[in-house]
Amino acid sequence: MEKFEKIFNMSFEQAMLYLSRPVIILILSKIVVTIVLRILDRIFAKSKLDMGMKGFFRQIVRVLIYVIGIIMAAQSLGINTSSIVTLLGVVSLAFSLSLQNILTNVFSGIMLLITKPFTIGDFIEVSGVMGTVTSITLMRTRICTPDNKVELIPNSDVASQRISNYSREAKRRVDIEISADYKASTKDVIAAIRAVVDKDERIAKDGIYAPIIRLLRFNASDITYTVKIWCENSVYWDVYFDLMENVRESFNENGIEFSYPQRVVHIDSKNS
């Protein structure tokens, strides 16, 4: 009240001069915000930061400059700003407690944008959802599943869960198990599979990426063979399905049968 009484007791020129100082400070704050944001935009243009991260930094800088400007404007009027700072602290604490889950998602989003376990366009699996990442915001990660469903997962769940990124590496291994009848020899089965693998130019053939075709295990009615091959990530599913179809044709051409569950029953005629 004393401040207002002081203004009323001033002449018009003195009052205008007294009030002009906080107004000028606020105008300067606006100018500083514009200049700093332009500088940040130039820095961001040369960086690899995600758009969500850039927007977050811009918002933080804007709020900080305006808060500092308001405090300086209050000081220019002779107002005790210590009480304002204390009030801001109390309000911030209450706000953070009431929005704890939201803040958790925001900080998790920041960590995802900084650590980059995946980027937009990657095919990932997280929280039981598999699909392509279409956007990463400070609150949620948006994933489009292979059947064209949109899944919005809170960033706190994404950051705390195991993440499988299928797009990060250039090559990916195709693992297939194929079962054949006991009547077929191991060499014939491996040769039939090998013929299919050798014909496919998309499959890597040399070095550490050389195909592996081996007998894996004996089952009750068949033998399982494992096939481990490498290909470019972009053609993974094409190679997978083509291999399965071509192996079936190769088995037919070489007289190798796929087994099926069967049971042999012996009847003792003496006790019948």
Surface-to-core class of residue 220, CB atoms within 10 Å of its CB (0-12 exposed, 13-18 middle, 19+ buried): exposed
Residue 3 has pLDDT above 70, yes or no: no
- Model confidence at 267, in pLDDT bands (50, 70, 90)? confident
Residue 47 has pLDDT above 80, yes or no: no
The identity of residue 204, as a single letter, is A
From the list 201, 202, 181, the residue with the least C-alpha distance to 192 is 181
- Range in 2-11, 20-29, 212-221 with the lowest mean pLDDT: 2-11
pLDDT attached to residue 1? 45
Supply the mean pLDDT for the chain: 83
Condensed to tens digits (0 to 9), the pLDDT of residues 143-193 reads 999 999 999 999 989 988 999 999 989 999 999 999 999 999 999 999 999
User: How many angstroms separate the CA atoms of 240 and 174, rounded?
Assistant: 7
Q: What integer is the mean pLDDT of 124-136?
A: 92
Q: What integer is the mean pLDDT of 191-203?
A: 95
Structure tokens at 50: 């995600």
pTM: 0.59
What are the backbone dihedrals phi and psi of residue 129, each rounded to the nearest 5 degrees, phi first?
A: -115, 135
Three-state secondary-structure class, residue 184:
coil
Q: In angstroms, how far is the first alpha carbon of the chain from the final one? A: 115
Q: Which residue has the higher pLDDT, 46 or 127?
A: 127
From the list 139, 171, 183, 132, the residue with the least C-alpha distance to 158 is 139
Q: Which residue has the higher pLDDT, 70 or 246?
A: 246
Residue 60 has pLDDT above 70, yes or no: yes
Residue 229's beta-bridge partner residues?
174
Residue 16 has pLDDT above 50, yes or no: yes
